[in-house]
Amino acid sequence: MIAGLQTEYCVDTTCRSAYGRGFEVVLVEDAHSTWPTDRLSAEDIIAHHNATLGGWFVKLAKADEVRFDELYRADR
């Protein structure tokens, strides 16, 4: 499970690195954030990374879908 700051740096790198090491990666799509830039809003950056990473490097999940009382499997 990955969540955190900063979407386009730490979150992106962690997702790709974990995938490359063979982990089943779940990105909590509404639990990472960033700051806006001169060209893009924070919302656009987050949406772009969810779309870019989702389905290839990670499975996307919403925060209200995440459960730690049972093993969360990316193939569900």
pTM (predicted TM-score): 0.85
The pLDDT of residue 67: 81
Pick from 6, 41, 2: nearest CA to 18: 2
Alpha-carbon gap, residue 1 to 75, rounded angstroms: 13
Ordered structural domains, the chain, with CATH: 2-65 (3.40.50.850)
Rounded distance between C-alpha atoms, residue 22 and residue 17, angstroms: 9
> Which positions of the chain have pLDDT values less than 70?
70-76
